[in-house]
């Protein structure tokens, strides 16, 4: 097309058309160099060379779409590999909360956040869904950094008002107020006037605020309901953790004995078609159905689940239930910040599930994810989930 100014040639362009259809061909990707937008993808046989186009030769290299990391924690980048001999709740208290608390110092936060954004981009993550910290300034700073680097990002100011250490906890009212301020600050960075625009246009922004109650154990009912109201008011996405580990699930059960963990989020109005929940290992068939019915998505974080010995989940069971699913690095539950490693660990979790099923039942017909499905989860599947 007339707009095309640079053409990238590769003997292997690979991308997903759907869960089961992976296209792999010899061809060219045309890019409008002014906007950086991909304007054409053609098989080599259909491509007409033209003097106006600069051809960049990626012979013997792959061209793939940008990867989508549907769940990670920016302040935990410096903690990769630490304390992985502990279960989740103890690990959070010992390693995670003290390190996140340091981001009150904005210069420190800037240093750490710059590192994770550079590292994820270097590894091909063009869209990343982040938890920042409870500090409003640090969340806005993370948005500044992703905007400057050109990474599409979901930016969550974390909320927690109970069962948290004195040095890393908020008051309910100010947690809600500073969350609303943060949303507006992130809009302002992009000269976005939410009063003049249709709510759906927030999804055209490069940095999208996301409502981020950490998880049920650290959030009061009042906080969760207030956050649901903010999500409704601005039509924002929502992210949290759900049923990641046995200890956490028991904790929630003791506070809410008469409903499931999933039902708590639903009753608090935090489970809808703009929600993405990380992990979702310890769920009943009914819970999975509820997630599907609400149109919510799941961020599957295989490596984190091994590192913290949380559990093993095969993403195939989520796909089979019709739930939108993506992959997350979950740094620093997971020590690897890149999506290629995440694809590999997802494959291992899936194979472990096939093996487990076979050892329980020698006639089991359960089969692990295919490579085409793994590639989909890291790209198009993650995009659909977000
Ligand atoms: N559940 C609540 N907070 C966290 C966190 O920071 N990491 C993981 N893996 N799980 C959580
Ligand atoms: Fe997480």
Each residue of 267-305: pLDDT tens digit? 999 999 999 999 999 999 999 999 999 999 999 999 999
Residue 62 forms beta bridges with which residues? Answer: 12
Q: Quick one: average pLDDT of 14-24?
A: 95
Q: Residues 382, 327: contact at Cβ < 8 Å?
A: yes
For the cut 90, the answer to whether the pLDDT of residue 48 exceeds it is no
Q: For a substitution probing ligand 1, which of 73, 79, 303, 334 has the most ligand atoms within 8 Å of its CB?
A: 73
Pairing of strands 37-43, 22-32: antiparallel
Q: Is 151 in the pocket of ligand 1 (CB under 6 A)?
A: no
Distance from Cα 60 to the centre of ligand 2, integer Å: 36
Q: Quick one: average pLDDT of 6-26?
A: 95
pLDDT, tens only, 230-256? 999 999 999 999 999 999 999 999 999
> Considering the chain, what percentage of its residues have pLDDT values greater than 70?
99
- Sequence-ordered list of residues with C-beta below 8 angstroms from that of 334, at least 6 positions apart, any chain: 301, 302, 303, 304, 307, 328, 342, 345
Question: Which strand ranges, in their side-by-side order, compose the sheet holding 207-209?
Answer: 67-73, 125-131, 152-156, 207-209
pLDDT, tens only, 321-336? 999 999 999 999 999 9
Q: How far apart are the first and last CA of the chain?
A: 30
Q: For a substitution probing ligand 1, which of 89, 241, 303 has the most ligand atoms within 8 Å of its CB?
A: 241
Q: Is 92 in the pocket of ligand 1 (CB under 6 A)?
A: yes
- Sequence-ordered list of residues with C-beta below 8 angstroms from that of 303, at least 6 positions apart, any chain: 329, 330, 333, 334, 335, 336, 341, 342, 345
Distance from Cα 279 to the centre of ligand 2, integer Å: 8
Atom of ligand 1 nearest to the CA of 131: 6
The residue whose CA is least distant from atom 9 of ligand 1 is 333
| Per-residue burial over 368-381, b = 16 or more CB atoms within 10 Å of its CB, e = otherwise | bbeebbbbbbbbbb
For tokens 């992985």, the residue is 84
For tokens 């999975």, the residue is 288
Q: Quick one: average pLDDT of 355-376?
A: 97
Q: Is 214 in the pocket of ligand 1 (CB under 6 A)?
A: yes
Distance from Cα 8 to the centre of ligand 1, integer Å: 40
Q: Is 287 in the pocket of ligand 1 (CB under 6 A)?
A: no
pLDDT, tens only, 111-122? 999 999 999 999
């Amino acid at each position: 097309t007339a707009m095309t100014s640079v053409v990238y040639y590769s003997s292997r362009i690979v991308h997903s058309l759907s869960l089961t259809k992976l296209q792999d061909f010899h061809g060219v990707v045309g890019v409008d160099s002014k906007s950086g937008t991909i304007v054409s993808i053609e098989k080599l046989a259909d491509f007409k060379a033209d003097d106006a186009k600069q051809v960049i030769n990626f012979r013997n290299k792959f061209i793939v779409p940008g990867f989508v990391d549907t769940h990670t924690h920016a302040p935990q980048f410096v903690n990769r590999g630490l304390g992985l001999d502990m279960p989740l709740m103890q690990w959070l208290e010992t390693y995670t909360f003290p390190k996140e608390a340091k981001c009150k110092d904005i210069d420190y936060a800037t240093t750490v956040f710059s590192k994770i954004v550079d590292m994820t981009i270097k590894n091909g993550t063009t869209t990343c869904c982040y938890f920042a910290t409870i500090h409003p300034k640090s969340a806005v700073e993370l948005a500044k950094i992703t905007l400057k680097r050109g990474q599409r990002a979901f930016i969550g100011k974390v909320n927690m008002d109970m069962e948290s250490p004195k040095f890393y906890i908020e008051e309910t009212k100010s947690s809600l107020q500073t969350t609303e301020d943060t949303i507006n600050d992130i809009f302002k960075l992009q000269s976005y006037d939410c009063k003049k625009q249709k709510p759906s246009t927030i999804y055209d922004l490069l940095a999208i605020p996301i409502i981020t109650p950490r998880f049920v154990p650290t959030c009061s009912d009042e906080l969760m309901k207030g956050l649901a109201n903010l999500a409704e008011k601005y039509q924002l996405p929502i992210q949290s953790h759900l049923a990641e580990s046995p200890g956490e699930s028991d904790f929630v059960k003791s506070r809410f004995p008469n409903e499931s963990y999933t039902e708590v989020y639903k009753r608090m109005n935090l489970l809808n078609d703009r929600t993405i929940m990380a992990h979702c290992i310890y769920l009943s068939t009914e819970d999975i159905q509820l997630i599907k019915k609400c149109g919510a998505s799941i961020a599957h974080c295989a490596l984190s689940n091994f590192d913290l010995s949380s559990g093993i989940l095969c993403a195939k069971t989520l796909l089979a239930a019709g739930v939108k699913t993506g992959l997350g690095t979950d740094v620093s539950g997971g020590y690897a910040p890149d999506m290629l490693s995440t694809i590999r660990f997802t494959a291992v979790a899936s194979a472990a599930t096939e093996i487990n099923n076979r050892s329980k039942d020698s006639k089991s017909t359960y089969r692990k994810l295919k490579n085409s499905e793994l590639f989909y989860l890291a790209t198009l599947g993650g995009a659909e989930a977000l």
